[in-house]
Amino acid sequence: MTQSQPQTQTQTQTQPQAPRAQTLGLIGSGMIGSALARLAVAAGLDVVLSNSRGPGTLTDLVADLGERARAATPAEAARAGDLVVATVPLKTHGRLPSAALAGKTVIDTMNYYPERDGRFAELDAGELTSSALVQRHLADSHVVKAFNNIDFRRLFTSARPAGAADRSALPVAGDDPAAKADVTRLLDALGYDAVDIGTLADSWRSEPGTPVYVNPYMAERPEGLSQEEAGRWFLETPGVPVPAAWVKELTDAAVRGPADGSRAAVSGD
């Protein structure tokens, strides 16, 4: 099923100034983390990458990214980053280095997939969003939800300069206005407009199973593809532009359901 795009944009599309951030720290360097690192380097930012297996496992990625990139431990990446991206499986959020992240703006790309993460009773009951859970662990940080509703391939290939007719927008949510403003500036530098969808309590509007999650950014996949053909289609097919007005329409239309959205179109966190 396809959705029609509005032809006009709304006040939610922002035109922020250049980002204050000069260094982006990444805790998690998988598919989403690697895509963000590539976009950041292309935007002239320095990146400090980390994962749970140690800096030595990131040698090839760092070499590919060039002189603006280096590998470190998660705590070192946390301390080095002007902004820090946490892009790990939600079940491991309790391992995020809270002391090193104190006072930092932390961009949460994580989604709740019970078949991978196990069950969180508070999420299943709708008492918390996954980002509110992360904020509870990072009590001294400013958590902003972003980059969780787009797959890693479209995240990288759909980035466009400010003002481009085919520029897409992504939703952001957070409790701290200054932190959201910093993340909005980062999105602008990386090639995206931002739509503020509210607080962390509202961040469910971009979670798996909602209208804005993954599918709007992808072309409709042809039927009858083999597994190999489907994989090639996924990697080679350009994204569909999703302007700010459409993101707002989709997030406004979201109805909160069980916190166990399908991984069928996993974003790659």
Please tell me the CATH superfamily of domain 23-252, with its number.
Answer: NAD(P)-binding Rossmann-like Domain (3.40.50.720)
pLDDT value at residue 245? 98
Read off the amino acid at residue 137.
H
Q: Which residues contact 142 (CB under 8 A, 6 or more apart)?
A: 104, 105, 106, 174, 175, 176, 178, 179
Q: Measured between alpha carbons, how far is 194 from 12 in angstroms, rounded to an integer?
A: 7
pLDDT value at residue 261? 56
Between 268 and 47, the more confident residue is 47
Mean pLDDT, to the nearest integer, of 117-140? 96
Between 256 and 184, the more confident residue is 184
In tens, the pLDDT along 223-248 reads 999 999 999 999 999 999 999 999 99
Binned at pLDDT 50, 70 and 90, residue 10 comes out as very low
CA dihedral (127, 143, 212, 251) in degrees, to 10, reads 70
- The yes-or-no verdict on residue 215 having pLDDT over 80 is yes
pLDDT value at residue 258? 75
**pTM score, whole prediction:** 0.89
In tens, the pLDDT along 106-127 reads 999 999 999 999 999 999 999 9
Mean pLDDT, to the nearest integer, of 52-68? 97
Binned at pLDDT 50, 70 and 90, residue 259 comes out as confident
Q: Is-contact 74 97, C-beta < 8 A?
A: yes
In tens, the pLDDT along 156-178 reads 999 999 999 999 999 999 999 99
φ, ψ of residue 53 to 5 degrees: the values are -100, -5
In order of 18, 64, 151, 189, 243, the CA distances from 185 in angstroms are: 6, 25, 21, 6, 17
- The yes-or-no verdict on residue 8 having pLDDT over 60 is no
User: Which is nearest to 208 in space by CA: 144, 252, 254?
Assistant: 254
